[in-house]
Amino acid sequence: MAAQLGHSAVLGALLLTLTDQIVLFFPVTYRLFPTAAVTALLGAPLMFALIRRLKMPAPPQPGAQPVVARLARPMPALLGLVALLCVAAGVALFVGKNTEGWFLAGLYDTHGLGWRWPRALAAFSGGAMLALAGAILQRVTGNPMASPEVLGVSSGAMLGVIAVLLTLAAPTRSAQILAGAAGSLTVLLLMLALSRKPGFSGDRLLLIGIALSSISGFVMAILMTSQDPRLGQLLAWLSGSTYAVAPGEAIMATLLLSGGLALVPLIRRWLEVLPLGEDIARNTGVSVVTSRNGLYSLSAIITASATILVGPLSFAGLMGPHLARLAGFQRAGTQLPAAALIGGLILLVADWLGRNIIFPFQIPAGLLATVVGGPFLLVLIGRRA
């Protein structure tokens, strides 16, 4: 282990030094390309080559994982989450802060409600869709750290949206969602193709997602150094701000969320069988290729829709499924709705806090949720190690 640490430090220093010299070699690149961003771009192909040669540990058997108590009656618990959501929604709509301090709005405050309800609905729908996608990805890959944010699916959506914003004169929300879905699906299919050989592995899929995320980081670094006038709009969106969400967009997001939840009974069996292994899935009559492609496509679409609303980083897709599992929702048919409710609650509360903590200034909901989600991810990595 000591030798590995020493070699890692030397190789890391050499890689960064070599990249810095490459950037300085060209007369223009040092003005446009930050060394760290170029390192990530050059390191991604190298990681792709090394990942295929890594020997991944054998996937844990279903009985080898620590058992969490399963709820005997999950439906009352789901109704409890719905009741908690109603309370949180009431606070988000009617309790706030203005120049005179805290206030309790009434139903007559149509102007204030007309401004608050689209943000609250968009925050909840975005967080719920990310958590739903995260629960699907965790079950399909068998990796508890899988989520749209960690696997780079949100980064793929981000690249698609950026491409539309920078190429179209008047990009519509429909065009952004389609481009985001195409980017998410492209990343998922690329990850699936790269992780197939020498055998499907959730851990290998996670490493590939991290490598792909570095490419989106390079694109953002270039945009920031180019000082493009459209960067302000991009930065506001990347931070997860719901300030500019229109009522129609919030309603559309809720409809997409409802469609995703309506598919849960249809995909429940896939999500129960696939984590048991490909052989068991085939023996029970489940087509591995068809089921995985369908689940990945669904994850890509709802991830892209959520990313449009709350940005590519919020960690609701990671926290929602885990909190649902820790609460006792073990079966796919109940874990997915519970994860969606919890993820939506996280973003709804984050949006309300972001609007009121430092009023009149605001903290974007996605950014505030990331402050909580980052340490949560580190705790999961520590427990997994």
The CATH number of the domain where 366 resides is what? 1.10.3470.10
Examine residue 306 and state whether it is found in any structural domain, yes or no: yes
Examine residue 164 and state whether it is found in any structural domain, yes or no: yes
Examine residue 103 and state whether it is found in any structural domain, yes or no: no
pLDDT of residue 61: 44
Q: Is 50 exceeded by the pLDDT of residue 137?
A: yes
DSSP 227-291: T-TTHHHHHHHHTT--TT--HHHHHHHHHHHHHHHHTHHHHHHHHHHGGG-HHHHHHTT--HHHH
Q: Which domain holds residue 126?
A: 111-384
Cis peptide before 247 (omega within 30 of 0): no
Find tokens 């402050």 and name the residue.
Answer: 371
Examine residue 57 and state whether it is found in any structural domain, yes or no: no
pLDDT of residue 51: 67
Indicate the pLDDT class of residue 86, thresholds 50, 70 and 90.
Answer: very high
CA–CA separation, 346 and 274 (whole Å): 28
Examine residue 172 and state whether it is found in any structural domain, yes or no: yes
Q: Name 146's Cβ contacts closer than 8 Å, sequence gap at least 6.
A: 134, 137, 138, 202, 205, 206
- Report the SS3 class of residue 147: coil
pLDDT of residue 131: 92
* Highest averaged pLDDT of the listed ranges 63-67, 116-120, 140-144: 116-120
Amino acid at 309: L
Least confident segment among 5-19, 84-98, 162-176, 218-232: 218-232
pLDDT of residue 62: 43
Examine residue 84 and state whether it is found in any structural domain, yes or no: no
Bigger pLDDT: 335 or 376? 335
CA–CA separation, 19 and 129 (whole Å): 39
pLDDT of residue 135: 92
CA–CA separation, 311 and 314 (whole Å): 7
- pLDDT per residue as tens digits for the range 339-375: 999 999 989 998 898 888 888 888 888 778 877 766 7
Examine residue 85 and state whether it is found in any structural domain, yes or no: no
State the average pLDDT for the chain.
78
CA–CA separation, 191 and 250 (whole Å): 31
pLDDT of residue 60: 45
* Highest averaged pLDDT of the listed ranges 5-9, 25-29, 72-76: 72-76
- pLDDT per residue as tens digits for the range 268-322: 888 888 887 777 878 888 888 788 878 887 887 888 778 777 777 667 888 889 8
CB–CB of 314/124 below 8 Å?
Answer: no
Indicate the pLDDT class of residue 245, thresholds 50, 70 and 90.
Answer: confident
Q: Is 70 exceeded by the pLDDT of residue 66?
A: no
CA angle 303, 135, 374 (to 5 degrees): 75
User: pTM of the prediction?
Assistant: 0.79
Examine residue 374 and state whether it is found in any structural domain, yes or no: yes
For the chain, how many structural domains are there in total?
1
- pLDDT per residue as tens digits for the range 289-301: 788 878 887 887 8
CA–CA separation, 337 and 320 (whole Å): 10
CB–CB of 105/94 below 8 Å?
Answer: yes
- pLDDT per residue as tens digits for the range 159-192: 887 788 778 877 776 777 778 778 877 877 777 6
Indicate the pLDDT class of residue 195, thresholds 50, 70 and 90.
Answer: low
